[in-house]
Amino acid sequence: MDKADEKIVCNVYLSKSRYCKSIQCKKILWMDKYKQEEKVQSAKDSVFKNGTMVGELARGLFGEYVNIEFNSDLSKMISDTKEALKKVPNIITEASFEYNHNFCSVDILKNTEDGVEIYEVKSSTEVHDIYLDDAAYQYYVLSNLGYLVKRVSIVYINNQYVKHGELELDKLFNIKDISEIAVLKQKEIKDRIIQINEYMNTHDENNEPKEVIGMQCTKPYGCEYWEYCTKDLPKPNVFDIKGGMHTDKKFEKYYEGKISFEDLQHENLNETYLEQIDFEINNREPKIEIEPIRELINSLKYPLYFIDFETFQLAIPEYDNTKPYQQLPFQYSLHIIKKEDAELQHKEFLAEVDDKNFLRHFAENMIKDIPENGSVIVYNKGFEHSRINELAELYPDLKNELLRINSNMVDFLPPFKRRQFYMKEMQGSASIKKVLPALYPNDPELDYNNLPVVHNGGEASETFLSLKGKSKEEQEQLRNGLLVYCKLDTYAMVKVWERLKEIAK
């Protein structure tokens, strides 16, 4: 042990995750201890599942391994690790150590005759700065316990890997040696641990720390206590501005004391932002540019196909010819109007969760449901267009038909994104979730909040992935929720078309 460390009074128990939280903002640790009920969960279940799956898969990266099973009694994990270390050489996963109230579990530990190697596994496709702090903290714990750490590395996902047959772990994962960085960070870590202990010892339950909000609230992760820390700001405020205003610019205005929309109305800002502020403050009437809307409506050719996709992503590709985190379409809703004044028809596709060939079935059904060269109407063309291109590359025999669908695609997003049609109620957003209720206020049939199971695209992918292992009855209920949600997405486009058509007359 470094003699200087003996003077440190460390009564705050830190894990590597808590240490990393403190780098973002020390108040997060205080909030976690005293006001955890204020947390607004932001991470999706799929993020946690992806992380867990990647971590478990990476254990086999170097061959056979001994896993230290999780135990709420951390001392049991530490003693199990000491026992596993007696066998040299070997690979130990979740090897657990504690030094001076600083605890860590190493994702993969190479235990060799002349020292150990630390491998920190991440489900990301690149190495972020916070990962360096994470791994360097583990070096701090192990080196202060007397272990010779020969190497520290980050293991992360290679997003260029394409699955063909069995997974090839050596190709799925990239490994980056960050040993030099870890060594250079050791004094910083020691100093930070002292600061954390002083901070938490100074601020108890009745002495809440005062921290100024800033970029640390958004980087490296969106803080789950943002709502709490901004609860006293006027509404709306600079952070409610939509349309692409960068977060650092918002904080710049915040620090200048320009916080409310009234504060901002005469600032030198992009006209898009000023327009949102003006409409909100002065309760402006809707802004409508008829000619571009008329041009859009007149460009449409019957039959009209209103289509929307739902997708999911997997960190570890399960299907041949797919990559990590590729957007995989599993569902579509399709509303059809064959000719003017024709009855509205609806078709849909929802994959079976156990269907290994669902991508082809998705493509085949879509081709069958869109047999003619009418306008294929979407909301945000880039997304559906890209998915269809990917399917065309995946299935050469379907390529011509898929590209035919793409060639007929018409995007309904631009009039709202370009503010050719804008209303105060859109709150600066061109999202259909804001546009629809602005065009049709107080219509329960069009209210996403009234849906039974799924309310947005994120929930849709989470729900589909959750189907595995569910009973038939549970699956039926969830699948119905998916169908109802996706159907509203395309019905929303039909309603937008109807309103735009009225304007274009």
Which pTM value belongs to this model? 0.92
Count of Cβ atoms closer than 10 Å to residue 472 Cβ: 7
Domain residue spans in the chain?
A: 3-200, 235-270, 285-505
Q: Do 323 and 158 form a contact (C-beta atoms < 8 A)? A: no
Residue 444 main-chain phi, psi, to 5 deg: -60, -25
The confidence band for 113, taking pLDDT boundaries of 50, 70 and 90, is very high
Cα–chain center distance at 99? 34
Residue count of the chain: 505
Residues 6+ apart with CB under 8 A from 150: 112, 114, 115, 116, 117, 179
Residue 120 per-residue DSSP state: E
Phi, psi of 394 (to 5 degrees): -75, -35
pLDDT digits (tens, 9 = 90+) for 29-77: 999 999 999 999 775 666 777 888 999 999 999 999 999 999 999 999 9
Separation CA 448–CA 305 (nearest Å): 22
DSSP characters for 307-361? Answer: EEEEEE--SS--STT--TT--EEEEEEEEEE-STTPPPEEEEEE--TT-TTHHHH
Quote the DSSP letter at residue 297: H
Specify whether the CB–CB gap between 437 and 424 falls below 8 A: no
> Hey, what CATH topology would domain 3-200 get?
Lambda Exonuclease; Chain A (3.90.320)
Question: What radius of gyration, in Å, describes the C-alpha atoms of the chain?
Answer: 27
Nearest partner of 276 among 419, 412, 414, judged by Cα? 419
Q: What percent of the chain has pLDDT over 90?
A: 95
* Predicted local distance difference test score (pLDDT) of residue 1: 41
224-249 pLDDT, tens per residue?
999 999 999 999 999 999 999 999 99
- Measured from the Cβ of residue 358, the count of other Cβ atoms closer than 10 Å reads 19
pLDDT reading at 207 higher than 80: yes
Tell me, which fold does domain 285-505 have in CATH? Answer: Nucleotidyltransferase; domain 5 (3.30.420)
What amino acid occupies position 494? V
Same fold, 3-200 and 285-505: no
Residues facing residue 174 across a β-bridge: 156
Rounded CA separation 271/398 (Å):
45
Q: What is the largest CA-CA distance in the chain?
A: 85
CA–CA separation, 218 vs 222, rounded Å?
A: 4
State how far Cα 276 lies from the chain centre: 27
Give 351-393 pLDDT, tens digit per residue.
Answer: 999 999 999 999 999 999 999 999 999 999 999 999 999 999 9
Q: How far is CA 208 from CA 26, 34, 68, in A?
A: 12, 9, 38
- The candidate with the shortest Cα–Cα distance to 349, out of 498, 175, 487, is 487
How far apart are alpha carbons 418 and 438 in whole angstroms? 16
Tokens of 30: 């205080």
Q: What is the pLDDT of residue 3?
A: 43
Q: How does the average pLDDT of the chain come out, rounded?
A: 95
- Ramachandran angles phi, psi of 346, nearest 5°: -135, 135
pLDDT of residue 41: 79
Q: Cα 222 to the chain's mean position, in Å?
A: 10
End-to-end CA distance of the chain: 81
SS (H, E, C) 460-486: HHHHHHCCCCCCHHHHHHHHHHHHHHH
pLDDT digit string, tens, across residues 428-470: 999 999 999 999 998 999 999 999 999 999 999 999 999 998 9
